[in-house]
Amino acid sequence: MSTFYLSSDAFLNGDLIPIRHTCEGRDLSPPLTWGDPPGGTQSFALVCEDPDAPRGIWVHWVLYNLPAQVRGLPQGVEPDPELADGSRQGRNDFGRLGYGGPCPPPGRGPHRYYFRLYALDTLLTLPPGATRADLLAAMDGHVLATAELMGRFERPTHR
């Protein structure tokens, strides 16, 4: 059994994402924790995306070069290009660096939000501001394991 997993104190896998982590609330990134990765892990990368968006996959967060010894992220990671631990944030589909919470069109039903954590056998040379496509290309051939957490969110039609 693998000890590499991804979880959050804010919501369970498959459950609703709390309002504070969405555009309806404070738009804070959720706290995340993960288990021990495979041997040889040099860094982690994280992507959050919505496959149910009207125009295809909508990217909510791109984060990479998280140090191999890190086992979590606090709530509300600041949208800085580079964090104190050397990790870097990419550009989301809102056109901003860092996390952009769930914000589906009102009244269109629930969307799924996949947080995917990748254990990598290298440190990436990507500068801050990389896109999901940039990250996926740079990670090619370097992924040792993947852990996933999925949450749901739906915006009401009327308030």
Beta strand pairing call for 32-34 and 72-73? antiparallel
For residue 89, count CB atoms less than 10 angstroms from its CB and return exposed for 0-12, middle for 13-18, buried for 19 or more.
buried
Output the pLDDT for position 108. Answer: 80
Q: Which CATH architecture has domain 6-153?
A: Alpha-Beta Complex (3.90)
Q: What is the C-alpha separation between 116 and 149, in angstroms, rounded?
A: 7
Q: Which residues of the chain fall short of a pLDDT of 50?
A: 1
Tens of pLDDT, residues 27-70: 999 999 999 999 999 999 999 999 999 889 999 999 999 999 99
Largest pairwise CA distance in the chain: 50
pLDDT for the residue 157: 76
Distances in whole angstroms, Cα of residue 29 to Cα of each of 37, 82, 85: 22, 16, 17
pLDDT of residue 159: 53
Residue boundaries of the structural domains of the chain: 6-153
Confidence at residue 62, expressed as pLDDT on a 0 to 100 scale: 98
**Whose CA is closest to 17, among 159, 113, 117, 148?**
113
